[in-house]
């Protein structure tokens, strides 16, 4: 064979080996190790907790981002409710559930996570869309009553145990500042089953207030705890557990104190200190029902039915229908 041909062939073989050997090694590596972008290989079953990280997927199973855990207490944050410590008539689920984790993506972008050494209610925001952690801004607790608050609102507590309200849209904005010792919402729901966030009940320095959703103070300071309100009147409860009806200027509307008061639309359900029950029309300022003597174990309820009449139930039995 011509020596020049042999030399050319040898050079060609060497060049091919230089090209093929790295490609072969790379092929073996990616075959067994997988690529970082290959989420199916990295987390084959799309588990939420996997390989010391939290994994977030969209509805089609596409990986959105991962959060690298720093502690063993790494999860969705809990919704912590302390309303039961006060007189406020707040939303309570009929279902007995111990699962209070806020395990959903807010506005298709944010989640509340916890990742702290102590297993308490601390939380921070994580941007799922951009894979960004805002752990430098932490909350001692977050409250959304488990079912959510309309308008993507969250009642948050800072490290000084002061409460404010956070609204999450494209960004997170504090719409009520951290100035209150308590903030809660009364038991009113929107059509989607979320707690209405139009007005908040707040306590500051021992006085109680009603706030607008943007933080405006709508009432005078009220010394007794606020139970509920209807836009014109407020029901309060004093330290002796007596109920009172006042207006937004903290002026009494009815001089008498009661052992129970509640609203049904513009009508006031009254139980006197002698356990006499009747319904009072706040617009006409008159009693519109019969008066019923209640035993200690008796229950009562009033509802406005589909025809617009007010029905009174004693011990779950209808006792009177009032044509309104």
What are the pLDDT digits (tens) for 236-258?
A: 999 999 999 999 999 999 989 99
Cβ distance 203 to 187 under 8 Å? no
What are the pLDDT digits (tens) for 165-189?
A: 999 999 999 999 999 999 999 999 9
pLDDT of residue 5: 44
pLDDT of residue 15: 46
pLDDT of residue 41: 52
pLDDT of residue 95: 64
pTM for the complete prediction? 0.83
End-to-end CA distance of the chain: 115
pLDDT of residue 30: 36
pLDDT of residue 13: 46
Strands (E), 61-188: 63-68, 74-76, 110-115, 123-127, 132-139, 141-143, 153-157, 163-168, 172-180, 182-184
**How many Å is the maximal CA-CA distance in the chain?**
124
Q: Encoding tokens for residue 268?
A: 């006031």
Cβ distance 274 to 265 under 8 Å? no
Below-50 pLDDT ranges, the chain? 1-8, 10, 12-17, 19-40
Element holding 280 (H helix, E strand): strand 276-281
pLDDT of residue 75: 96
The residue among 66, 69, 9, 6 whose CA lies nearest residue 36 is 66
Q: Encoding tokens for residue 117?
A: 């050494």
């Amino acid at each position: 064979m011509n020596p020049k041909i042999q030399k050319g062939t040898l050079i060609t073989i060497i060049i091919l080996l230089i090209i093929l050997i790295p490609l072969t090694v790379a092929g073996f590596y990616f075959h067994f190790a997988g690529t970082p972008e290959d989420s199916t290989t990295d987390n084959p079953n799309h588990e939420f907790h996997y390989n010391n990280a939290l994994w977030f997927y969209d509805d089609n199973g596409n990986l959105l981002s991962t959060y690298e855990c720093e502690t063993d207490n790494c999860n969705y944050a809990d919704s912590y409710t302390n309303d039961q410590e006060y007189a406020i008539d707040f939303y309570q689920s009929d279902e007995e559930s111990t699962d209070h984790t806020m395990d959903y993506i807010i506005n298709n972008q944010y989640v509340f996570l916890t990742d702290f050494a102590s297993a308490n209610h601390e939380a921070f925001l994580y941007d799922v869309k951009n894979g960004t952690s805002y752990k430098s801004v932490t909350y001692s607790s977050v409250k959304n009553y488990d079912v959510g608050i309309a308008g993507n609102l969250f009642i948050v507590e800072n490290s000084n145990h002061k409460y404010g309200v956070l609204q999450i849209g494209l960004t997170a904005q504090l719409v009520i500042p951290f100035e209150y010792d308590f903030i809660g919402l009364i038991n009113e729901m929107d059509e989607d089953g979320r707690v209405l966030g139009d007005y908040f009940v707040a306590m500051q320095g021992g006085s109680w207030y009603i706030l607008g959703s943007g933080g405006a103070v709508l009432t005078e300071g009220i010394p007794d705890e606020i139970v509920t309100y209807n836009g014109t009147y407020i029901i309060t409860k004093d330290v002796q557990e007596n109920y009172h009806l006042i207006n937004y200027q903290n002026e009494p509307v009815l001089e008498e104190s009661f052992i129970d008061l509640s609203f049904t639309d513009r009508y006031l359900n009254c139980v006197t200190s002698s356990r006499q029950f009747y319904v009072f029309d706040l617009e006409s300022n008159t009693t519109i029902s019969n008066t019923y003597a209640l035993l200690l174990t008796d229950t009562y309820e009033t509802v406005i039915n589909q025809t617009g009449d007010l029905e009174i139930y004693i011990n779950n039995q209808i006792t009177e229908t009032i044509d309104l």
